[in-house]
Chains A and B, each alone.
Chain A
Amino acid sequence: MTLRSVLVANRGEIALRVVRACRELGVRAVAVYSDADASAAHVRMADDAVHLGKSAASKSYLNEEAVLEAARSAGVDAIHPGYGFLSERPGFAAAVEEAGLVFVGPPSSVIATMGDKAAARAVARSAGVPVVPGSDEVSSADEAVAAAGEVGYPVLVKASAGGGGRGIRPAGSADELRTVVAEAQREAASAFGSDKVYLERALQGPKHVEVQVLADTHGTVVHCWERECSLQRRRQKILEEAPAPGLDPSVRSALCDAAARLAREVGYVGAGTVEFLVEGSGDAAEFFFIEMNTRIQVEHPVTEWVTGLDLVAEQLRIASGDPLSVAQDDIACRGASIEFRVNAEDPDQDFLPSPGTVEALELPGGPGVRVDTALMAGDAVPPFYDSLVAKLSVWAPTREQALARGRRALAEYRVDGLPTTIGLHRRLLDEPAVVDGGYDITTLETWLAGRSP
Chain B
Amino acid sequence: MGNHTITSRTPGVFYHRPSPDADPYVTEGSSVAEGDTVGLVEVMKTFHEVKADAAGTVARFLVENEDEVTIGQDLVELET
B68–A384 CB distance below 8 A:
yes
> Residue A127 at the B interface, CB < 8 A?
no
> Residue A55 at the B interface, CB < 8 A?
yes
Shortest CB-to-CB span from A435 to chain B, Å, is 31
Stretch at the interface among B24-32, B40-48, B52-60: B40-48
Cβ–Cβ < 8 Å partners of A353 in chain B: 10, 43-46
Complex CA distance for A384 and B46, rounded to whole angstroms = 10
Cβ–Cβ < 8 Å partners of A56 in chain B: 13, 66, 68
Partner of B44, one of A54, A55, A59, A387: A387
Cβ–Cβ < 8 Å partners of A400 in chain B: none
Cβ–Cβ < 8 Å partners of A386 in chain B: 44-45
B44–A355 CB distance below 8 A:
yes
Which single residue of chain A is at the shortest CB-CB distance from B11?
A383
Cβ–Cβ < 8 Å partners of A59 in chain B: 66
Partner of B45, one of A54, A55, A387: A387
Shortest CB-to-CB span from B12 to chain A, Å, is 5
Which single residue of chain B is at the shortest CB-CB distance from A351?
B46
B43–A355 CB distance below 8 A:
yes
Complex CA distance for A345 and B10, rounded to whole angstroms = 13
Complex CA distance for A345 and B46, rounded to whole angstroms = 11
Shortest CB-to-CB span from B25 to chain A, Å, is 15
B66–A58 CB distance below 8 A:
yes
A384–B12 CB distance below 8 A:
yes
B12–A383 CB distance below 8 A:
yes
For A38-81 the 0/1 string (1 means CB < 8 A from B) is 00000000000000001110110000000000000000000000
Interface size for A (C-beta < 8 A) is: 14
Shortest CB-to-CB span from B16 to chain A, Å, is 14
Instruction: Give the interface centre of A54, A345, A384 by most chain B CB atoms within 10 Å.
Output: A384
Instruction: Give the interface centre of A54, A59, A383, A384 by most chain B CB atoms within 10 Å.
Output: A383
> Residue A344 at the B interface, CB < 8 A?
yes
Complex CA distance for A222 and B44, rounded to whole angstroms = 35
Shortest CB-to-CB span from A123 to chain B, Å, is 29
B68–A55 CB distance below 8 A:
yes
Partner of B11, one of A54, A345, A355: A355
Complex CA distance for A58 and B68, rounded to whole angstroms = 12
> Residue A385 at the B interface, CB < 8 A?
yes
Cβ–Cβ < 8 Å partners of B46 in chain A: 353
Cβ–Cβ < 8 Å partners of A355 in chain B: 11, 43-44
Which single residue of chain A is at the shortest CB-CB distance from B67?
A56
Cβ–Cβ < 8 Å partners of B44 in chain A: 344-345, 353, 355, 383-387
Complex CA distance for A353 and B10, rounded to whole angstroms = 9
Complex CA distance for A101 and B30, rounded to whole angstroms = 50
Shortest CB-to-CB span from A190 to chain B, Å, is 11
Shortest CB-to-CB span from A315 to chain B, Å, is 25
Complex CA distance for A54 and B14, rounded to whole angstroms = 14
Which single residue of chain B is at the shortest CB-CB distance from A386?
B45
Cβ–Cβ < 8 Å partners of A344 in chain B: 44
B43–A54 CB distance below 8 A:
no
Which single residue of chain B is at the shortest CB-CB distance from A84?
B45
Cβ–Cβ < 8 Å partners of A58 in chain B: 66
Which single residue of chain A is at the shortest CB-CB distance from B69?
A383
Complex CA distance for A383 and B13, rounded to whole angstroms = 8
Complex CA distance for A385 and B42, rounded to whole angstroms = 9
Cβ–Cβ < 8 Å partners of A55 in chain B: 68
Shortest CB-to-CB span from B8 to chain A, Å, is 10
Cβ–Cβ < 8 Å partners of B12 in chain A: 383-384
Instruction: Give the interface centre of B11, B12, B44, B68 by most chain A CB atoms within 10 Å.
Output: B44
Cβ–Cβ < 8 Å partners of A384 in chain B: 12-13, 42, 44, 68
Complex CA distance for A56 and B13, rounded to whole angstroms = 7
Shortest CB-to-CB span from A166 to chain B, Å, is 12
Complex CA distance for A384 and B44, rounded to whole angstroms = 5
Cβ–Cβ < 8 Å partners of B68 in chain A: 54-56, 384
Shortest CB-to-CB span from B34 to chain A, Å, is 23
- A276-291 residues with Cβ-Cβ distance < 8 A to B are none
Cβ–Cβ < 8 Å partners of A385 in chain B: 44-45
B66–A383 CB distance below 8 A:
no
Complex CA distance for A59 and B68, rounded to whole angstroms = 11
Complex CA distance for A384 and B12, rounded to whole angstroms = 6
Shortest CB-to-CB span from A420 to chain B, Å, is 13
- A362-404 residues with Cβ-Cβ distance < 8 A to B are 383-387
A selection of 6 A-B contacts at a CB cut-off of 8 Å is: A58-B66, A59-B66, A355-B11, A383-B12, A385-B44, A387-B44
| Nearest 7 pairs of A and B residues by beta carbon | A353-B44, A383-B11, A387-B44, A383-B12, A383-B43, A56-B13, A353-B43
11 more A-B contacts (CB under 8 A) besides A383-B13, A383-B44? A55-B68, A59-B66, A345-B44, A353-B43, A353-B46, A383-B10, A383-B12, A384-B44, A385-B44, A387-B44, A387-B45
